[in-house]
Structure 1
Amino acid sequence: MTTTPATDLAGAAQKKAHGVALSDTAAAKVKSLLAQEGREDLRLRVAVQPGGCSGLIYQLYFDERFLDGDAAVDFDGVEVIVDKMSVPYLDGASIDFEDTIQKQGFTIDNPNAQGSCACGDSFH
């Protein structure tokens, strides 16, 4: 397992080995969720799966597995892994966490998405 360390400049996450960046805010939220789970063996897995009205959906979940071909980057103690099939779809994507009156949750800004459905849950 090879993990690439990530660094942030001026608070903005930079693109790394698997192409996915994790903001400082998102990393802090993931750390908080992991602390609630009480497990230190979990990683944040980001994947693209077929589904949704536009053809592809994002999957973000905690995973204890490290599969053959997974790419991993450590963001200040939060390991983000992406499977080899999802890497091309996620190259250049950035993950953030919003906590406002209008919205609470993780957001993904993906320059590879050519369009999305009205609800914003899927893309193509």
Structure 2
Amino acid sequence: MSTDASDGAEAGPAVTVTPDAAEEAVSLLDGEGLDTDVAGLRLFVQQGGCAGLSYGMRFDTEPEEDDRVTEQHGLRVFVDPSSLNYIGGSTLDYESGLQAEGFHVENPNVEAECGCGESFRT
């Protein structure tokens, strides 16, 4: 398991987490009764969507051995090696507004997105 320092290791974090995203995710983790010192948010890429790939998120009680672990603003984010190839350098944000509310991934590796923004191609 490789770990990124919260201040950014030399290679930089696998995923940057905004304070709003961290606050919301930690609140949800606490609500599930998970220990935020060990548990975290898993961010991954899966086949699907009209553009070919889509993002997935879930809570995990602990990272897998080969995960890249980023800890920022009190939130641990787990990314598996194959997903890291697609989402490395991305920013995880949380948006709350009239149009939509939820987590959003800003991915610099995306070449095209579907119209709804739920799937992408690199």
User: Same fold, TM exceeding 0.5?
Assistant: yes
Q: 1:4 — aligned with what?
A: 4
Q: How many equivalent pairs are there?
A: 119
Q: 2-side partners of 1:61 and 1:121: how far apart? A: 16
8 A Cα contact 1:17 1:72, kept in partner: no
Residue 71 of structure 1 corresponds to which residue in structure 2? 68
Q: Residue deviations 1:30-71, cap 9 Å, x none?
A: 111111111114210010111111100001110124223111
TM, length-normalised to structure 2: 0.87
Structure 1 segments (4+ residues) deviating >4 Å: 14-18
TM-score, normalization: structure 1? 0.86
Q: How does 1:1-124 map to 2 (within 5 A)?
A: 1-7=1-7, 17-40=12-35, 41-124=38-121
**Structural RMSD (CA):** 2.1
Greater CA drift, 65-74 or 87-96: 65-74
Determine the C-alpha separation between the residues in 1 that align with 2:102 and 2:7. Answer: 23
Structure 2 gaps of 5+ residues are: none
Structure 1's unaligned 5+ residue stretches are: 9-13
